[in-house]
């Protein structure tokens, strides 16, 4: 599962006020993570369900990164390359190897048609831009490799907001804002700005007791001045894909 349907199920259960009976469910492998506040609710409602963060893409055919069963899922670090993954790299914008602790794009080495996609249908230019030298998949995802060989997700390269010379990941901003008890859900987009190049727009689904002034005050107190969105727009719900991801292009 990815984070949006996890969050929707969690909030629905919390609003019902009833205990959750997980039935035969024993483990969830998830991509993307919840906010710290959401994890508190999740652990309270379904403490017996084993959670394990993994990473992969449709283009990578199968899972790329994950933790060993005996490692604790800290909900921040994903893990190491799975068995069967030939190699991974973290690459700077200039194509050189990023150092441990330095963010860069994750590249995955494999065999097209076996451990990687053959290509995008009827899109040779897009395929050539994504499969480097025919064997390296450019994921478009920004990762950081730790010294112990484990990786942490930092966001989609295409989802970086360049505000006043500062690069902000919409993924990171969303996780921070979703911790606010005044909102049920948050999605982040940007808007072009003549002075700052772009500004942060927070789309929120309010919870009980929400008002914009209180939300801004919570952001200042918990995230600092930089954590306060430039614009805030309220919604009753978000348009979603079949897998539960927010259709940010429709916001």
CATH code of the domain covering residue 200 = 3.30.300.30
Give residue 226's domain range.
157-250
- pLDDT computed for residue 162 by the predictor: 80
Domain count, the chain: 1
Task: Please tell me what DSSP assigns to residue 99.
Answer: P
Average pLDDT across the chain, whole number: 89
Q: Is there a domain that residue 194 lies in?
A: yes
- pLDDT computed for residue 197 by the predictor: 85
The angle subtended at Cα 236 by Cα 234 and Cα 237, nearest 5°, is 105
Q: Is there a domain that residue 210 lies in?
A: yes
Calpha distance 54→151 (Å, rounded): 10
Q: Is there a domain that residue 211 lies in?
A: yes
- Could you say which residues of the chain have pLDDT below 50? none
Q: Is there a domain that residue 61 lies in?
A: no
Element (H, E) at 248: none
Q: Is there a domain that residue 15 lies in?
A: no
Q: Is there a domain that residue 6 lies in?
A: no
- pLDDT computed for residue 91 by the predictor: 95
- pLDDT computed for residue 137 by the predictor: 95
Which SS3 state, helix, strand or coil, does residue 212 take? Answer: helix
- pLDDT computed for residue 157 by the predictor: 66
Contact status, residue 227 vs residue 220, Cβ threshold 8 Å: yes
Summarised one tens digit per residue, pLDDT across range 48-74 is: 898 999 999 889 988 999 988 888 888
- pLDDT computed for residue 158 by the predictor: 61
Q: Is there a domain that residue 224 lies in?
A: yes
- pLDDT computed for residue 248 by the predictor: 82
Q: Is there a domain that residue 110 lies in?
A: no
| Residue 76, phi-psi category: left (phi > 0), alpha (psi -120 to 50), beta (remainder) | alpha
Residues 6+ apart with CB under 8 A from 49: 22, 25, 26, 27, 28
């Amino acid at each position: 599962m990815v984070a949006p349907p996890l969050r929707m199920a969690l909030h629905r259960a919390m609003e019902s006020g009833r205990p959750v009976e997980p039935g035969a469910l024993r483990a969830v492998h998830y991509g993307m993570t919840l906010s710290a506040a959401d994890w508190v609710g999740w652990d309270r409602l379904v403490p017996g369900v084993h959670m394990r963060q993994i990473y992969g893409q449709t283009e990578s055919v199968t899972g790329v990164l994950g933790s060993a069963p005996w490692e604790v899922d800290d909900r921040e670090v994903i893990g190491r390359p799975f068995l069967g993954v030939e190699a991974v790299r973290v690459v700077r914008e200039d194509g050189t190897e990023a150092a441990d602790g330095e963010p860069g794009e994750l590249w995955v080495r494999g065999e097209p048609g076996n451990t990687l996609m053959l290509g995008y249908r009827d899109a040779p230019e897009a395929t050539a831009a994504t499969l480097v030298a025919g064997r390296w998949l450019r994921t478009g995802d920004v990762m950081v490799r730790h010294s112990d060989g484990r990786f942490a997700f930092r966001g989609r390269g295409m989802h970086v907001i360049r505000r006043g010379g500062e690069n902000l990941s919409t993924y990171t901003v969303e996780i921070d804002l979703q911790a606010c008890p005044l909102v049920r859900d948050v999605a982040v987009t940007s808007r072009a700005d003549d002075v700052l190049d772009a500004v942060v727009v927070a789309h929120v689904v309010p919870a009980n007791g929400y008002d914009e002034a209180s939300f801004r005050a919570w952001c200042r107190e918990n995230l600092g001045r930089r954590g306060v969105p430039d614009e805030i727009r309220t919604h009753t719900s978000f348009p979603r894909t079949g897998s539960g991801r927010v259709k940010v292009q429709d916001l």
